[in-house]
Structures are given as structure tokens and as C-alpha cells.
Structure 1
Amino acid sequence: MIIGLGSDLCSIERIQASLDRFGARFEDRVFTAVELAKARRRPFTYAATLAKRFAAKEAFSKAVGTGFKQGVFMRDIGVVNAPSGAPTLALTGGAKARLDALIPHGMAGRVHLTMTDDHPWAQAFVVIEAIPDDNR
């Protein structure tokens, strides 16, 4: 069962401007250590790598219906890779609490994420699915 759907389109140049203007303050406020490490391994596409992750955070906040309110913060939403290599989200704090509140009893939440970029744009889509929880 689909619980939420969100999408976002982000300007890579806007992310680059924020990096140029605010540097580490911007990075530390928005991105997780895992996301920053991934971006640093891609020096020629650093801003694009972060722009895709910024779009993923925005898409998730739309999928849960709060935006960045009600305890949902950007740093609580981290893009990681599943063992298959597919991108997904690691949630903590208010983002995890909001997702947990949306999932019906006896079900587990699954977050699907896809991201892409083509300069000057980065885009992400998030689908939140509730599936039977076999661990209950």
C-alpha cells in the first residue's frame, strides 16, 4: 500500500552558490557525514551529488506530508545505498518518528528513492510503501 509520494527538482547552481557562500555551515546543517563523504569522492560533480541528496530530502518531507516542520529536519534524512547499490534513505530523529506514525499497525515502512541529475538540475522521487511486517 502506498503511504506517500514526493518529488523535488533542485538547481545544482543554487546548491553550488550555497556552498560558495556558507561552506561547511551549509554542509553541516543539511547533509550527513555519509553524504558528504560520498560527495568528496566525486570532486568534479560535488555540487550535483549534494543537489541530488538535497532533492531527496525535500521529496521525503513532501511524501510524509510535513515539509520541514513537526520535528522533521534535513539532517534526519540521509541518502545511503542498499547492498544492491540502489539509493534509499536512512532516517533518524523526527523523520523516522513521522514515518513510523504513518505506517499502520502490523505493517513495516519501505522507502523507495530514485535520483538523477542533468546540469543544471537534480531531481528525486520518493515513494513510501507499507508492507506486511513478518517480524511481528
Structure 2
Amino acid sequence: MIAGIGTDILKIDRLKASYARTNGRLAERILGVDEMKVFQARLARNESRGMAYLATRFAAKEAFSKAIGLGMRMPMSWRAMQTLNDPSGKPVVKCSGKLQTFMEEKKFFAQVSISDEVDMAIAFVVVTYGTPVVSGVLDIKDMGN
């Protein structure tokens, strides 16, 4: 069952301006440890791709906070929710700390989709509760629950 949905879209130039104004501290405030490693590597290779990565992660956190119904208040925090990629490249949600506990207690599972173009980034999150959907298919034994 769907517990919530959230979406966020932003102009990458606005994020770049904030990043520059804070001398890069914006990324440290927003990104979790694993996201930061990817961001730094991408930024070192290509500045625009690094900024697009930061923008999609920002949008994902905003969309996720809307989908779980908390906004940016505890246990939701910028760094407690990360959007990482599984080996196939699919973006996946990874929660930690009190946010992970919140998700487990609520039996919430999140799916995230992110995309970017030259000047825009967007994220869409669907949060379900109960039985997690794996690869878009429920196990047949779970269909009556």
C-alpha cells in the first residue's frame, strides 16, 4: 500500500550559487558519507556532472521528506537519507540512525527516481508500507495481505 509520494524539482544554477556562496559547505551539510565520496569523485572529473549529482541528491531528499510526511524535521535530516546506486545503476534509498528506526517501525519502504538535464534536476519518491516491492514485482504469496 502507498503511504506517501513526494516530488521535487530545482534549477541547478540556484544550487551552484548556494554551493559557491558557502564555499562548498552546502555539500557537507546535505550529503551523507557515501554520497559525499561519489560527489567528490564526480566533481573532480567534471564540475557540471558533480553539480548535477548534488542537485539530484538534494531533490531526492526533499521528495523523500514529503513522501514520509515529515518534511525536514526529525527523524528526517539531510544526511540521514542517502540516494545511492545499486550495481545496475538503479537509485536506491539508504537511511541511517533514527530515520532508519522510523522507517522500520512504520514498515515503510521507499523507491526513488531521479533525473537531470542541463539546468534542472528532479526526483520522485514513492513510500509504501507492509510488504516491500522488489523489482516491481510482489511475491505471489504476499498478494492477499
TM-score between the two structures when normalised by the length of structure 1:
0.84
1:48-59 paired onto structure 2 within 5 Å: 48-59=52-63
2:116 paired residue number: 117
- Against the structure 1 CA distance between its residues 25 and 102, is the aligned structure 2 distance closer, same or farther, given a 3 Å change threshold? same
Given that 2:110 and 2:127 are in contact with CA atoms closer than 8 Å, whether structure 1 keeps it comes out as: yes
CA–CA distance in structure 1, aligned partners of residues 82 and 101 of structure 2: 14
Q: CA deviation at 1:49?
A: 0.9
CA–CA distance in structure 2, aligned partners of residues 98 and 14 of structure 1: 32
2:11 paired residue number: 11
Q: Which string of whole-angstrom CA distances, capped at 9 and with x for unpartnered residues, describes residues 4-31 of structure 1?
A: 2111002211111111011242221111
Give 5+ residue unaligned stretches, structure 1: 104-108
1:67 paired residue number: 71
1:106 paired residue number: none
Q: CA deviation at 1:69?
A: 1.0
Q: What SS does the corresponding residue of 1:23 show, helix, strand or coil?
A: coil
Given that 2:109 and 2:129 are in contact with CA atoms closer than 8 Å, whether structure 1 keeps it comes out as: yes
Give 5+ residue unaligned stretches, structure 2: 133-138, 140-145
CA–CA distance in structure 2, aligned partners of residues 128 and 71 of structure 1: 16
What residue identity is the alignment partner of 2:102? R
CA–CA distance in structure 2, aligned partners of residues 2 and 16 of structure 1: 34
Given that 1:89 and 1:113 are in contact with CA atoms closer than 8 Å, whether structure 2 keeps it comes out as: yes
TM-score between the two structures when normalised by the length of structure 2:
0.79
Tell me how large the CA RMSD over aligned residues is. Answer: 1.9
Q: What SS does the corresponding residue of 1:132 show, helix, strand or coil?
A: coil
% identity of equivalent residues? 34
CA–CA distance in structure 1, aligned partners of residues 76 and 98 of structure 2: 5
Given that 2:103 and 2:109 are in contact with CA atoms closer than 8 Å, whether structure 1 keeps it comes out as: no
Q: Which has the larger radius of gyration?
A: 2
